[in-house]
Structure 1
Amino acid sequence: MAHISTGSSEAPENWTIYTGAAAHYQATRPDYPNAAANWILNALPQSQESKLVVDVGCGTGIFTRRIAAALQRSDSIMGIEPNDDMRFQAMRASALHPNIEFVCGCSEALPVSNNAAVLVTAASSAHWFDLPTFYDEVARVLFSDGVIAIVQNKRRWWDSQFLDAYEAFHERFVPGYRRGTFPDRFGGFVEETFASDLARHSDFQGVRQASWKWNRTLSKSDFESLSLSTSHTRRALANSGEDVVMKAMRDILDLFASTEARLDVPYVTEVTLAKRLPH
């Protein structure tokens, strides 16, 4: 399936939209289920040697730390992130994980040697990438039978009147956005095609998918902070101004919050996984 974007031309350095939002991101973005990390690690080839894992577009290192916690202390994890603010937050939050190294880099030119990694992950970031180039780079750095895993945390708007209204809020204020799509490198929005992409790629085999439903509860202020960490809301603010956008959001939060000012936020974590064919 072709990647058909609602944007018109490639937007340079899309990751700069998170500059100034990294603290919101680290404080309120959701973690990932242990089961998702373990499912990925169980797909790795069996070996007693130390492993290199690469997490691309790692942001503040939320999934990087989740993977690190499930690996052996002798294994190395490289988190690659182009945004300085996000990478600074990642380093601050990862002091208890000495086997994680955060480096500046991008998905189209991974700072990793050929055939060096057993696993490459991208968690809530791959929709931003030049995917054909990224897939080729992953094929270059993975050794035979190594794994690529693309992870997405999604709010389950179809199971929540609150999130249904929140999606409508973004559809109102973000041109080109519709629920179920993700921002891309062209400044528009696309549906994800990871499974079909990897199934067609000549260097990968054994595409599999799995998902885990879970819930979290946030205060109104925490959900507002979460929203301010997203590119959708940051675009809405740029397009329509803070007063209008924040009033519309707060009206939704007030309508659906419990008497204790709490909001139920259902999620699903989806993983698409494939293995590197022998070189």
Structure 2
Amino acid sequence: MSHSNTHTFSGLQDIYDAARPTYPAESLTKLKALINSGSAEIIDIGCGTGILTRQLQAAMPEANIQGCDINADMISKAKQSSSGIKFFENIAEDLPFDDDQFNLITVGQAVHWFDRPKFYPEMMRVLKKGGVLALIENNRSWQTDAFFAKYEDLLEAHSPNYSRHYRDTDYMAEMADAGFKDVTAHESIWQRVMSAAEFTDMSCSSSKMAAARKATDDAVLGELRKLIAEYVDADGKLAIDYVTKIIYGVV
């Protein structure tokens, strides 16, 4: 994450850790299959509060796992919420390690923040030969879901400079151009059922909603609650369809 984004998530650490989705078991199984050794060296970059990092630890207990993020509040929360994992503040593009250190590097929901022309060479430097960089995204499909199409409309209307198309980057092509081999994508489809309050909290954990709230003096929250009320079922729930995508390549 570049220095300009250092404070983007400041103050959001508690709601972020409580409200953000985890990653499906199928995705963790895939990540585990990418390494050959149970005692692997793994680092989760842009780890936030350690949501993915803790799942990696549970899936691969013999591995030595670290997490880093540029935001001090996020790292503080990660340390409070975890044990047996080393967390530290650092930018993604210049890591404090010698060459050839890691079997697996993961990035969950963060690579779009990075200075990627600098990030990819740094990953190739610190990965061992045969090591893997895995970029993971939890995406919701606004193209086929009326609720999420309107939710994206709401964010674009009120969050300065936000566009739903930030997800459109061709990371597979970027990784291949950077020199990674056997670049591949793996998808897992799953569903998360949430109450109106839970969805509101998840939305408020995002930097884009934080910007919208600031720009509208919180008026956007009223619009969000009205939108949710139009789409909840008889039990007051939203069924959220996710596609978790892992894009990975080998050094």
Work out whether the TM-score is over 0.5. yes
- Once the two structures are superposed, the pairs formed by residues 33-112 of structure 1 within 5 Å of their partners are 33-44=24-35, 46-47=36-37, 50-73=39-62, 75-95=63-83, 98=84, 100-112=85-97
Q: How many angstroms does 1:12 deviate by?
A: 4.5
Secondary structure of 2:247's partner?
strand
Of 224, 230, 234 in structure 1, the residue corresponding to residue 210 of structure 2 is 234
Q: What CA distance in whole angstroms lies between the structure 2 residues aligned with 1:264 and 1:72?
A: 32
Q: How many angstroms does 1:157 deviate by?
A: 2.1
Counterpart in the other structure of 1:260: 235
Q: How many angstroms does 1:167 deviate by?
A: 1.1
Q: How many residues align?
A: 251
Q: What CA distance in whole angstroms lies between the structure 1 residues aligned with 2:96 and 2:196?
A: 40
- Give the letter for the 1:119 counterpart: L
| Percentage identity across paired residues of the two chains | 30
Q: Deviations over 1:241-279 (max 9, x none)?
A: 21x211111110111122322111111101100000xxx
Of 155, 172, 177 in structure 1, the residue corresponding to residue 157 of structure 2 is 172
Secondary structure of 2:164's partner?
coil
| Aligned partners of 1:24 and 1:226 also within 8 Å | yes
Q: How many angstroms does 1:111 deviate by?
A: 2.2
TM-score normalised to structure 2 length: 0.94
Q: Which runs of 5+ in 1 are unaligned?
A: 1-9, 183-190
Counterpart in the other structure of 2:20: 29
- Give the letter for the 2:193 counterpart: T
TM-score normalised to structure 1 length: 0.85
Q: Deviations over 1:184-212 (max 9, x none)?
A: xxxxxxx322110111123x211000111
Is 1:272 the equivalent of 2:247? yes
- Give the letter for the 2:19 counterpart: T
Coordinate RMSD, CA, aligned: 1.7
Q: What CA distance in whole angstroms lies between the structure 1 residues aligned with 2:88 and 2:44?
A: 10
Secondary structure of 1:180's partner?
helix
Is 1:122 the equivalent of 2:99? no
Counterpart in the other structure of 1:136: 121
Q: What CA distance in whole angstroms lies between the structure 2 residues aligned with 1:47 and 1:255?
A: 49
Counterpart in the other structure of 2:220: 245
Structure with greater helix share of residues: 2
Of 124, 130, 137 in structure 2, the residue corresponding to residue 152 of structure 1 is 137
- Give the letter for the 1:232 counterpart: K
- Give the letter for the 1:259 counterpart: A
